[in-house]
């Protein structure tokens, strides 16, 4: 993992709100983040699981949540991402809190929900989130697909982040097209009044040409250096400084 220089925040409000920079007593406060990405299949779970492992190693009681998941692992009724986040955390919690809206079909959430006759209720997601918060000191919430993926006729993934009042971590899958996707996502986050806590350049295989130049371009246009540049096959670990940048400070 590279990007050693501490990133400068593009937001005047620190990650997690104005209290984020204050020292917190252990157990006093639960910190949480919403992980979105430039697309589906670009490493949100890869990074979210790594973040959870780092939080556990740093002494947090950490739990992952995937509010809406579409697609079950073969022969199971559990989504792969939900299992991966569960394995990476260290808090026991019922599956229906970790993943209140599971769908078997691997397709767009609003379509699979409609096909199943289910309305995705953000208030119910909020209730599950609140119950997870009561059990954990750190929460990592993974969206499905990208930031504006619909969950019904009028709501999308960022509405979940907004309802949970979470800062956003943007995982950029370093592929051709990622500059446009990353900048559009940052615009959407800003327009919703959400805080972009940071971004991660995930250079998943096959490694694209000119990764560093693309990272430089995004750094300049976002006004924010990446929290990390993750290489192909690399399972990153986040040190206390980087965890604090994402609002996970003790």
Of the listed 66, 98, 110, 242, which one is catalytic? 66
Dist. CA 161–CA 2, nearest whole Å: 28
- Mark whether 66 is an active-site residue: yes
Interface with ligand ATP (CB under 6 A), residue from 23, 27, 74, 205: 205
Length of the chain in terms of residues written: 250
User: From the CB of 45, what's the least distance to ligand ATP, in Å?
Assistant: 3
| Cα first-last separation, the chain | 23
Which pair of tokens denotes residue 47? 């990074």
User: From the CB of 147, what's the least distance to ligand ATP, in Å?
Assistant: 12
Q: Does 98 bind Mg ion (CB under 5 A)?
A: no
- Report whether 157 contacts 144 (CB < 8 A): yes
- The interface mask with ligand ATP, positions 3-42, x = CB under 6 A, is ----------------------------------x--xxx
- Report whether 225 contacts 5 (CB < 8 A): yes
- Number of residues near ligand ATP (by CB under 6 A): 17
Q: To the nearest 10°, the Cα dihedral for 64, 9, 200, 183?
A: 110
Interface with Mg ion (CB under 5 A), residue from 81, 141, 195, 243: 81
Whether a cis peptide bond, with omega within 30° of 0, leads into 77 is no
Dist. CA 2–CA 242, nearest whole Å: 12
By CB under 6 A, the residues from 38 to 97 that bind ligand ATP are: 40-46, 81
Interacting residues toward Mg ion by CB under 5 A: 44-45, 81
Please give the positions annotated as active site. Answer: 66
Binding site for ligand ATP (CB under 6 A): 37, 40-46, 81, 145, 202, 204-205, 230, 232-234
């Amino acid at each position: 993992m590279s990007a050693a220089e501490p990133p400068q925040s593009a937001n005047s409000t620190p990650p997690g709100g104005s209290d984020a920079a204050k020292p917190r007593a252990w157990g006093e406060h639960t910190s949480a983040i919403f992980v979105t990405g430039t697309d589906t299949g670009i490493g949100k779970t890869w990074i979210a699981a790594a973040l959870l492992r780092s939080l556990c190693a740093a002494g947090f009681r950490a739990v992952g949540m995937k509010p809406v998941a579409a697609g079950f692992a073969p022969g199971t009724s559990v989504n792969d991402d939900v299992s991966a986040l569960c394995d990476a955390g260290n808090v026991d919690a019922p599956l229906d809190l970790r993943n209140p809206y599971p769908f078997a079909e691997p397709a767009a959430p609003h379509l699979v929900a409609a096909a199943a006759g289910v309305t995705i209720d953000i208030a119910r997601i909020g209730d599950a989130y609140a119950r997870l918060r009561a059990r954990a000191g750190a929460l990592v919430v993974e969206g499905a697909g990208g930031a504006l993926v619909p969950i019904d006729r009028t709501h999308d993934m960022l509405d979940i982040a907004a309802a949970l009042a979470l800062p956003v971590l943007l995982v950029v899958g370093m592929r051709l097209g990622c500059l446009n996707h990353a900048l559009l996502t940052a615009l959407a986050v800003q327009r919703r009044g959400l805080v972009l806590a940071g971004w991660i350049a995930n250079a998943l295989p096959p490694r694209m040409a000119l990764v560093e130049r693309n990272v430089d371009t995004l750094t300049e246009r976002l006004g924010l250096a990446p929290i990390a540049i993750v290489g192909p096959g690399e399972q990153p670990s986040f040190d206390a400084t980087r965890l604090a940048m994402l609002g996970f400070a003790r």
